[in-house]
Structure 1
Amino acid sequence: MSVRPDRSSAELGGFIVLAFSAVYTALAIPLAAIVAVCAAASLAAVVLSLRSIRWAWCIYFSALCANGLQFTVSNFTVRPEYIATPLFLAALYSYTCREPDARSRSPFAVGMTIGTVGLVSVGLTSGMLFAPETAASLRMAVQLGVALIAVVPLTRVALDHGFVVRSGTAILSAISTVSVAGFVLDPSTRVDGLAFEPNIMGCLCAGWIGVLYYFAGDRAVVTRQVLFLAGPIPIALILTTTRAAWIALAIIAVCVMVRNATRYPITIICSLVAFTLAVAYLHEVYYRVGDADTFLWRVVHVIDTESGTGAYRLQLWNIAIDQIAARDWSAVIGTGLNTFPQFNPVDPTNVAAAYLSSMWLALIYDVGFVGFAFFAVLGVSLFLGVRHKKQAIPLFAALAICTSVTNVIWFAFPWVFMALTVTASRAGSKSTSAARDARRRSHHRGRPRHRVVVNA
């Protein structure tokens, strides 16, 4: 009877000593403590990811959402997704080794590979040949490569989409909830979560809502719990005051109404009436809203190219078009990734380097028509790989709209979101772990094997 108290006392004493040592180290040598904590967290992340694809996905998705967190190493900006991406790829490989049936094939994987390799290769080549700052252009090529490298592997593995959607929604919802709470405390700010800027946060939220729309047809994936968790995400999107994301959200909302027109006709009619009244009110106050920094001004001028940031973006787009038209044969492969600020170190406001916000125009500027062709091959291959293309249109449209005014090509989240729809189309081609578990349970109950049917 005396063994357990002694053992408990020893464990308690050891815990106290460990806690005292940790606190003393943190106070005496804070840098060492930070390094130790980071090392322990990294080791735990590696072990958990390689042992469980669910842990790997949660860590990877969290890194995608935290693209605004960064630190600099030798003039190179490092973001969480740079570290999480190779770990996630290793976890995918480990998962397919444990679960061979999780491997999937897509006839469009070749097109995705060609588009990815071609786009990055053209960016590297043009950067080395024409970029004023070659090192800066090559760093952007690395960032683009990190963003794209997980696309094809993701489309080759059938994941548990119920968990993928549920966990992703929970993570982004938690970030959105904290961000909205911060906005309530300080309404003068724009919600940006852990993203690089509010516009990126708006695009992130719009993209994930598009993913939810795609999977909404499967009640086993988008459950009531998921819909409840997703509540703060559109609120955070609206509070980012990103007008392109607002338009993307409106398009998805229209698609939701069309899908549920026969099930909830009264709700939809009331929503349309409320929207009509809101538009009428905004038309009345259009010329009475003077402060361009207010939320209402952005709502009223949701599509405005004559004033504010809309006019500023249009001015920069015209400059980019003029510079592209003035090029010689270098227009074929561009001048290198993210070279517009290098050729325009001062913007029209004389504040900072110019930023070419439109991804579509930036592609032609950076990688020319050849690089744009590779991008088209990648995008078309992704869309062709989706089985339920009608359900994927809102996601692809939302990302296309957001990227028209904010270039998110450098971040991994839009590519991962699109790849998930391709993975979903292949998930039914192989027997899943759940099906195998059902067979094993049936076998243990003594049920004859020939009566077990698994959809191929």
Structure 2
Amino acid sequence: MRGNLSGSSGASSAELCAFVVFAFVSVCVALAAPLVAIIAVTAAASIAAAILSIRSIRWAWSIYFFALCANGVQVTVGGFTVRPEYIATPLFLLALHAYAGREPGARAPSPFTVGLIIGSVGLVSVGLTSSMLFAPDTAASLRMAVQLIAALIVVIPLTRVALDHRFVVRSGTAILSAISTFSVASFLLDPSTRVDGLAFEYNIMGCLCAGWIGVLYYFAGDRAVVTQRVLMLAAPIPVALILTSTRAAWIALAVIAVCVMVRCAARYPVAIVCSLVAFTVGFAYLHDVYYRVGDADTFLWRVVHVIDTESGTGAYRLQLWNTAVEQIADRDWSAAIGTGFNSFSQFNPVDPTNVGAAYLSSMWLTLIYDVGFFGFAFFVVLMVSLFLGVRHKKHALPLFVALAICTSVTNVIWFAFPWVFMALTVTAPRTGSSSASAADDAHGIGHPRQRRRHRAVATS
């Protein structure tokens, strides 16, 4: 017995010494060559993520969803911006392929796949053509094309493989809730800032939160997916959305809130009436302080001027939109295919404030400017095919409307998260598989206790 303890202690000491040596060497390398250390850590993390993703679709989804939320984490390599989703996307695609191979019942063919292919391929093809023909900086436009392809490439595979929506919603909510909680805590320490989480900027964070709340609304009809625990877990997300001070996201949240009230009117009439009274009182107060609000662009100012195109960023955006419309109207036949991806800033290298290149915030105007009317037509085909593939269209409307509102003032077409959120409403629940776990999912049985109950009922 003593010998075993001694041997165990010796092995533990050897492991501890090895760990100390490894940590010492790692610190030395990090101090001597930070770039090498960063590359080594990134490579190790990528390898670990690849192994976990291929072995488990749950790990793959969790890693991919975190990468979608962390679109503001980036590094520039050779003039090209690299984000976590660029690494997570191929891993997730491989994981989906491996998962569909292991679980034949997970395959969910859609009759609208052809429309998705025509729309996405057509949109990218027109953009590539116009980028090479008309863009002043072809390389910059082609880099944006790569970004768009990385965002779109997951849509079709995700609509053809049915995932466990209970885990998808629960894990996604947990990840975004953790980011939101940390962001709200940071805001409380420094209220002068706007919440942006790990997103590219606060407007993107607002759109991200609004989109995921729309996903929760869509799945709320299934109590096995959106449970009370999930709703409690999601509580920090709307708080973070409000603290982004993104007015378009506020409007999107209000639209979803109205849909929630209509959906729950019969079940909670008193709560709905109280909410309407509170909204009326709040609206009256904001109307009263409209002309007495303090400094421009503060939180209260943005609340009072939630729709304002005469001052602040609203007037700035409207001025750039007018410029874009004028330039489109002055084009010849090039208006049919646009002038290339993200080309507005190339044709307008100085914005009205003389700070930097002009940014065309509206996705709808950007599409017509970049890919013309042909490219916009392909975009419509893509969106219509996505919506036609949705199982419960009435419940998906708030998500699509919320994203449409947010993208009207902040162009998020280059990021993957809005495409992924919409694709989640298309995938059907897994209806059967050769494996026991797939059968459990098909019957809505997730936890071990539920599986034991199911087996007990089946054998009785």
Into which bin does the TM-score normalised by the smaller protein fall? over 0.9
Partner of 1:54: 58
Partner of 2:165: 161
Q: Residue by residue, what CA displacement relative to the aligned partner does 1:258-316 show, whole Å, maximum 9, x if unpaired? A: 00001111111001000000000000100011311210000000000111100110000
Q: Give the count of matched residue pairs.
A: 447
Letter in 1 for 2:371: V
For 1:22 and 1:441, locate their aligned partners in 2 and report how far apart those are by CA, in whole Å: 45
Normalising by structure 2, report the TM-score: 0.94
Pick from 421, 426, 429 the counterpart of residue 427 of structure 1.
429
Partner of 1:63: 67
Partner of 2:448: none
Question: How far off its partner does 1:23 sit?
Answer: 2.3
Matched, 1:253 2:253: no
Normalising by structure 1, report the TM-score: 0.95
Pick from 435, 439, 456 the counterpart of residue 436 of structure 1.
439
For 1:294 and 1:259, locate their aligned partners in 2 and report how far apart those are by CA, in whole Å: 34
Change (3 A) 1:26 1:412: same
Pick from 304, 308, 330 the counterpart of residue 308 of structure 2.
304
For the residue of structure 2 that corresponds to 1:146, the secondary structure is helix
Paired-residue identity, %: 74
Question: How far off its partner does 1:250 sit?
Answer: 0.3
Q: Is the 8 A contact 1:25 1:33 kept in 2?
A: no
Q: Is the 8 A contact 1:183 1:191 kept in 2?
A: yes
Question: How far off its partner does 1:349 sit?
Answer: 1.0
Partner of 1:396: 400
Q: Residue by residue, what CA displacement relative to the aligned partner does 1:370-423 show, whole Å, maximum 9, x if unpaired? A: 100110011000000001000000000000000000000000000000000001
Letter in 2 for 1:295: F
Matched, 1:344 2:326: no
For the residue of structure 1 that corresponds to 2:44, the secondary structure is helix
Q: Is the 8 A contact 2:430 2:438 kept in 1?
A: no
Partner of 1:329: 333
For the residue of structure 1 that corresponds to 2:76, the secondary structure is strand
Pick from 268, 274, 286 the counterpart of residue 270 of structure 1.
274
Letter in 2 for 1:197: E
For 1:226 and 1:274, locate their aligned partners in 2 and report how far apart those are by CA, in whole Å: 26
For 2:129 and 2:218, locate their aligned partners in 1 and report how far apart those are by CA, in whole Å: 37
For the residue of structure 1 that corresponds to 2:425, the secondary structure is helix
Gaps in structure 1 of 5+ consecutive residues: 452-456
Partner of 1:231: 235
Question: How far off its partner does 1:155 sit?
Answer: 0.3
For 1:211 and 1:293, locate their aligned partners in 2 and report how far apart those are by CA, in whole Å: 30
Stretch deviating more after TM superposition (350-359 or 37-46): 37-46
For the residue of structure 2 that corresponds to 1:77, the secondary structure is strand
Stretch deviating more after TM superposition (316-325 or 289-298): 289-298
Question: How far off its partner does 1:29 sit?
Answer: 1.3
Matched, 1:363 2:364: no
Partner of 1:26: 26
Cα RMSD (Å) of the superposition?
A: 2.0
Change (3 A) 1:445 1:388: closer
Partner of 1:454: none
Gaps in structure 2 of 5+ consecutive residues: 444-450
Letter in 2 for 1:27: V
Please give the residue correspondences for 1:61-210 in structure 2 after superposition, counting only pairs within 5 Å. 61-210=65-214
Q: Is the 8 A contact 1:104 1:429 kept in 2?
A: no
Change (3 A) 1:126 1:437: same
